[in-house]
Structure 1
């Protein structure tokens, strides 16, 4: 019985996290598939925190709208090429196997697949558990 309750709660949490990631303005960014959400034991800035993972898939030429996240992001390019830029930094083209970091609240202004094949990115957002949106349109 306890296991069923735990599994149901986990499913609800993942669905809510995925919804918060996937339903922001600028949905032309590609597809977002929630993968996991974990409560973090340590407090960040005095708040209880959570880590949420999602897989972002971009078809050739697809680009996302500029946005911010409520906490830091750690990313890993799983497949293809990913053109990425934050704040006023020049864009970089990352290839499969490369990683990136975004400080919380920075402007993620370039998010694009510049290649001729599909791009897949794994992104972890570290945020307070009470964050309403994990993607904040600019």
Structure 2
């Protein structure tokens, strides 16, 4: 599913339809819903996972995420260059992970390779009504 600066509702098999997803990804990148479920023992919170697929040389635009979201990012394949807030830019390879605190800026998120694709799984713990998940800066 291609997303390019679009906000739309997604309906998941688990019955959630509140999710707004805004893409901060450039031409050729894609975001694919993976999982969404309210956290029943934490009222008002949800767990949402998306797969970010980067083609060779693909990059996201600088972006922020929903203010309430804590994000765990896991590199499924390839290598991802990432910079969160004013921290250093770092390259993560398949099997490595990083996180973003609520309210963080993500000025760099890109495929570190010009020849191989890369995939990132981003897992959000977020207020259920806090949308969109991603906004361009």
- TM category (shorter chain) comes to 0.7 to 0.9
Tell me if structure 2 keeps the 8 A contact 1:28–1:64.
Answer: no
Moved over 6 A (4+): none
The separation in 1 between residues aligned to 2:35 and 2:58, in whole angstroms, is: 25
Report the counterpart of residue 40 of structure 1 in structure 2. Answer: 39
The change in CA–CA distance for 1:9 and 1:82 in structure 2 (over 3 A counts) is: closer
Residue aligning to 1:3: none
With the length of structure 2 as denominator, give the TM-score of the two structures: 0.81
Deviation per residue, 1:60-102 (Å, 9 max, x gap):
1111011111211001100000000111111000000001100
**Higher radius of gyration, 1 or 2:** 1
Structure (1/2) with the larger helix percentage: 1
The answer to whether residue 77 in structure 2 is matched with residue 74 in structure 1 is: no
Alpha-carbon contact 1:50-1:127 (below 8 Å) kept: yes
Q: Which runs of 5+ in 1 are unaligned?
A: 1-7
Task: Map 1:47-126 onto structure 2 (within 5 A).
Answer: 48-70=44-66, 71-115=69-113, 116-126=115-125
| Matched pairs, number | 124
Evaluate the alpha carbon distance shift between residue 25 and residue 80 of structure 1 in structure 2; reply closer, same or farther with a 3 A threshold: closer
How far did residue 12 of structure 1 move?
A: 5.5
Q: C-alpha root-mean-square deviation of aligned residues, in Å?
A: 2.1
Judged with a 3 Å threshold, the aligned counterparts in structure 2 of structure 1 residues 10 and 51 are, in CA distance, closer, same or farther, namely: same
Between 26-35 and 66-75, the greater mean CA deviation after superposition = 26-35
Distance in 2 of aligned mates of 1:133 and 1:120: 21
